[in-house]
Amino acid sequence: MINSNFLRILIIFLSITLLGSCKKNTDNFDIDFINLKKPQKINIKNKKEIKEKSEAKNNIFLKKLVAFKDPEQVLSKTKFGKKDPFSVGEIQFNKLNSNFEIKGFLNTQLNKYVFVNYLNNEGTITEDSIGGINTNLLPNGAKVINIDSKNMRLTIFFENENFIFEL
């Protein structure tokens, strides 16, 4: 019973779609190009006037440009980082900056160690570490003063200042 009703509905649906597709298609889509306007030609009589106007505008922009600063002016304003920002080969920074990072502390019977990361170099420093002499994990001339592993503090003396880092 269900199959016969389903077949009747299917036959009715297919017959309607077949009869609907056989009708004559009279809807033609026509585009009328006669009413379109043609673009007008622009006659340039005074090419010299146009060039002069564009050159005047360019001169106004050129007057507003700011000249490059001398390297001496830029070098006198740098306070940290490389001594010469225009040099290519000098890579090592001479100050403690955001490149110095403490990772952890370790106490042994002999020494106290601090795990650090400086300029993409990872390793340990002790209270005997001096930058540029026995380690590359500190800037040149920096010396470890105190390692307090209980309070997780590291004290470094650099350029007549004490820097305290905490974990």
Q: What is the pLDDT of residues 63-117, one digit of tens each?
A: 777 777 787 777 777 665 556 666 655 444 446 766 788 899 998 888 899 999 8
Q: What is the pLDDT of residues 28-51, one digit of tens each?
A: 666 777 777 777 766 666 666 677
Ranges of each domain in the chain? 48-167
Q: Are strands 143-148 and 121-125 parallel, antiparallel or unpaired?
A: unpaired
Q: What is the dihedral of CA 65, 66, 70, 71, to 10 degrees?
A: -90
State which fold the 48-167 domain adopts. Answer: SH3 type barrels. (2.30.30)
Q: Which residue has the higher pLDDT, 142 or 24?
A: 142
Please tell me the pTM assigned to this model: 0.43
